[in-house]
Structure 1
């Protein structure tokens, strides 16, 4: 009798274990597990929202990044107009790339097309020549349209997000490293000079081994941030090291997976991001 009971119990365990296995395989697990893509990159919508919120807290003093597409002002940092979801600028030329992308998406009735030539002319300066109040008004008109939002997202991916993932994977970094690289690309640009992202990365790799070189992730990321700090303090607009401090906070908390909730301070403002804030 005991043997028969044991056999039945074993059979039931096998059956239900198999059902559970195939449910998991098909993705029928808890909703919080479903939200996190196994590929673990910030391209995934779940992690993209987290990283966009972090950057928006620095660029726009708000984690509501979806409301920032129509943003534009001259913040007097020597880069001319700062605009959009990550602070594209007329001085560095990525704002021009956004308007070009918008023209591709919306070639007809594009009220921004007339600003292409002026944007090309002011690249490398803080000039508003050919732009001014008219440009600001037209940008605000189209800023929250699906075409402009798509144009900005495309340029973010092309110039900043995809390169951040690529270099982070080369260096053996996870989600936190991808965010740290992305933020550095947004602020410093993807150039090769010492003050740009690639220059900062090369210098950091000279003083610390990345995980792909058998180094420790925390030590390498701290070396990267230390190198970046030297570049940040050269500019008056970046004397406040809130971005660096927050990223060091995540390293010290061993939050390499960007697990929520997360509390942080950015330029004197307090922020909190939880699962309920991610849709």
Structure 2
């Protein structure tokens, strides 16, 4: 199975203009609920209940994705970070991060491992410092746009395709898209489909189906990222508590910390 953040190309970003069915609109019509879903993932990613747009860090050598930055952890070594900087530069051609595009383009063209990762950060010596200093509102706008295009819209499309009706199902699928890429999320869903003989739209109980998806994701993370597997436990607690509608406020515990989820993520 391929690993975290599947290969993302510029073509995906530019063509991910999806037309949603009425079922999809029903599940995402409430902007407050979308904000709750986003908040759960940013808590898992950054242990913050609000987006941190100028976050930037080189994680340990185990990570292998270059520099992680922005509100949901775009990375310089898995294509999505470069897509973001390119789009930001369209909005603001004179931004202080545009100078890194040649280095990011070079990294994108280099060989990536089987998981679509490249840890090369040559030419990005001051990238972390410059991201942390960037308070441009257009940088925030660019991040929210690419979050939607690369992760949220694919998650909504997947949730719709399986016949999901619960907000928790969509939230978990979105979290998988951010953590594993759309293809990774599809693999866990397909595994559960094969095991249970169908999807919620086929009559399979949605809670049972979601629990099975969680099982497959947990098993993978337990081997690949043992600490990261706790984010599955966090969502499973919501499922066991019956909080499938994710109506705020409620508590969400992950990595030993408890957060109040109120939908105030922006």
TM-score of the two chains, using structure 1 as the length reference: 0.77
Which residue does 1:136 correspond to in 2? 128
Three-state SS of the structure 1 residue aligned to 2:118 is coil
Give the paired residue count: 231
Find the partner of 2:216 among 219, 227, 237.
Answer: 227
- Asked if the contact 2:58/2:67 (under 8 Å) is kept, the reply is yes
- 1:175-216 C-alpha deviation (Å, 9 max, x unpaired): 11110100000000123xxxx222222212111232101110
Higher-Rg structure is 1
The reply to whether residue 63 of structure 1 matches residue 49 of structure 2 is yes
Find the partner of 1:272 among 252, 260, 266.
Answer: 260
- Asked if the contact 1:118/1:131 (under 8 Å) is kept, the reply is yes
Which residue does 1:41 correspond to in 2? 27
Unaligned segments of structure 2, at least 5 residues: 1-23, 109-116
CA RMSD of aligned residues (A): 2.0
The reply to whether residue 212 of structure 1 matches residue 198 of structure 2 is no
Matches within 5 A, 1:1-279: 39-42=25-28, 44-65=30-51, 68-76=52-60, 77-107=63-93, 109-123=94-108, 124-132=117-125, 134-142=126-134, 144-173=135-164, 174-191=166-183, 196-208=184-196, 209-236=198-225, 238-274=226-262, 277=264
Compare relative contact order (CA 8 Å, sep 6+) and give the higher one, 1 or 2. 2
TM superposition shift of 1:242: 2.0
- Asked if the contact 1:85/1:152 (under 8 Å) is kept, the reply is yes
TM-score of the two chains, using structure 2 as the length reference: 0.81
In structure 1, C-alpha distance between the alignment counterparts of 2:70 and 2:251, rounded to whole Å: 25
Which residue does 2:16 correspond to in 1? none
* 258-267 or 218-227, larger mean C-alpha shift: 258-267
In structure 2, C-alpha distance between the alignment counterparts of 1:161 and 1:225, rounded to whole Å: 19
Three-state SS of the structure 2 residue aligned to 1:100 is helix
